[in-house]
Amino acid sequence: MARTDRRRFLKAVAAAGLGAGATGCDSLGGLAVPELPLWVNRPGGALSIAFRKQLTDKNKIEDLAYERGKPAIDVDHLRVFVPSQDGGLYAVDARNGDVLYRFATLGPVQCEPLYDPEEDVVYFGSTDGALYKIKAKTGELVYRFMTNSEVARRPVLDGPTLFMVNANDTLIAIDKKTGKLKFYQHRTPAFGIEIGGYAGCVVGHGKVFTAFSDGSAMAYSTKDGAEQWPNVDLTLDAQTSTGDAPQYLDADTTPVLTKVGKTEAAIVAHYDGGIYALEVESGRILWRNDKAVGTNNLLLWEQPAHASRPQIGGGPGPDAPARRLLIAASGRTGLWGIDPDTGARLWQKKLPEGGISAPVEIAGAVLVSTTRYGVFLVEPTRGGVIDGIEPGNEIAMTPAAYGRHAFVMTNGGELLGLVVHAPPAVVK
């Protein structure tokens, strides 16, 4: 996003009360709950709640009220698109959480939407098995594409083509304008114990990359869906490396594209086998971290080189070099910082019991939500907790962030607008 768009967004939400002055009692909400672990009770003042809005209709929730997925942010029009367990996608005002409209589907919406500014439309999936395209301004339906299985991962645009993966281990490519099928690739789901969820897809280097419940990682041509790798069976590798067959076969993590040294790579996680870096051209394993088991979300955190702040007593300190880190989130082994060039562990932080969301970059830090203890702001180079908020309700949804602002919904259907009060040198 252009710097002028960033400044426009920050100025607009700050004027609505989401800026640096939006602190108050909400910033300490839940932090004094005595049954929480001691390390949670650390109101650093960096993270605060700017607004709370009840969104969901509890009468329309038939299953457990877990709100998953992740909101999508439209910076230019100050809109946030929020998926909901009540079967709707909500469009809300980013400044105060007011509902602009609700688009209803035939099942819970647990998918991160994709906002396309070129057409001013939103793409998203539902557990009813369909992919929807709607007009972002009005919520008017453009088309509905039936995939015949739950769509819970964010779709991906590549030129005229929209890619998606459904819960039946099927990668689907459609024409974004017409919604007509271009091609699909299906793998027979694994037999045995599976972990809930599945991998999404990522596009790069003329390929679309994804992984499947049988533990396979695959690359396909974006033009016609032709296989670009031989079958990369991570389950087989996990078995031969340990001598024991893995209990879980799933590779449910959306791949991350980056470089390993000078080699282009796709990094993906196998639930029992750990994290793998695979060469983009061949699928060859470049490295493996077999300790980071249970990983279900990855984030490549990057910090450009920058001048240091003035030191006490005057004069600048040494300039800070560019840095990048792979942040891995696991409900079994915690939050990890991993060297993307070697796969080596740089740090690991065990978390309280319960699930953890995908990590999200915000203002140079990392934001995660936990199902039992709220939202935490983490320093990415060492994994230390900067601040945390327990808002009085469990959170399973991944936050969406832009600049210093973030949005997430609790399992009770309450949308939170969050603000990070970062040092001036961090947010430009």
Residue with structure tokens 């709100």?
67
- Among 186, 213, 232, the domain-final residue is 186
* Residue range 53-62: mean pLDDT, rounded: 82
Determine the Cα angle at 114 with ends 378 and 365, to 5°.
15
CATH code of 222's domain: 2.40.128.630
73 assigned to some structural domain: yes
Same domain, yes or no: 299 and 378: no
Whole-model pTM: value is: 0.88
Number of Cβ within 10 Å of residue 104's Cβ equals 14
400 assigned to some structural domain: yes
Same domain, yes or no: 67 and 199: no
pLDDT (tens digit per residue) in 199-249: 999 999 999 999 999 999 999 999 999 999 998 999 888 876 666 777 778
- Among 147, 162, 186, the domain-final residue is 186
312 assigned to some structural domain: no
Same domain, yes or no: 345 and 393: no
- 89 vs 308, more confident: 89
- Burial string for 147-181 (b: 16+ CB within 10 Å, else e) reads bebbbbbbbbebeebbbbbbbbbbbbbbebeeeee
Q: Residue 324 burial (CB < 10 Å; 0-12/13-18/19+)?
A: middle
Number of Cβ within 10 Å of residue 119's Cβ equals 15
- 372 vs 37, more confident: 372
- 69 vs 31, more confident: 69
The predicted structure's pLDDT at residue 14: 61
Same domain, yes or no: 219 and 273: yes
Cα 213 to Cα 294, 296, 339, 345, 346, distances in angstroms: 14, 12, 26, 26, 29
The DSSP output letter for 100 is: E
Quote the tokens at residue 45.
Answer: 């003042």
236 in helix, strand or coil?
A: helix
The predicted structure's pLDDT at residue 32: 33
Same domain, yes or no: 163 and 256: no
Contact between 125 and 87 under an 8 Å Cβ cutoff? The reply is no
- Among 186, 217, 246, the domain-final residue is 186
Q: How confident is the model at residue 195 (pLDDT cuts 50, 70, 90)?
A: low
Same domain, yes or no: 122 and 162: yes
Query: Whole domain around residue 87: which residue ranges?
Result: 62-186
311 assigned to some structural domain: no
Q: How confident is the model at residue 123 (pLDDT cuts 50, 70, 90)?
A: very high
Beta strand residue intervals within 84-151, DSSP E: 88-93, 99-104, 114-116, 121-125, 130-135, 141-146
Same domain, yes or no: 296 and 379: no
CATH code of 46's domain: 2.40.10.480
Same domain, yes or no: 255 and 291: yes
pLDDT (tens digit per residue) in 18-56: 544 333 333 323 333 334 433 344 446 789 999 999 998
- 27 vs 126, more confident: 126
Please state, for a pLDDT cut of 90, what percent of the chain lies above it.
Answer: 65
Same domain, yes or no: 117 and 22: no
The predicted structure's pLDDT at residue 299: 97
φ, ψ dihedrals at 240, nearest 5°? -70, -25
Same domain, yes or no: 198 and 281: yes
Same domain, yes or no: 6 and 111: no
272 assigned to some structural domain: yes
Domain count within the chain: 3
Number of Cβ within 10 Å of residue 130's Cβ equals 21
The predicted structure's pLDDT at residue 3: 53
- 195 vs 109, more confident: 109
pLDDT (tens digit per residue) in 76-120: 999 999 999 999 999 999 999 999 999 999 999 999 999 999 999
Same domain, yes or no: 263 and 209: yes
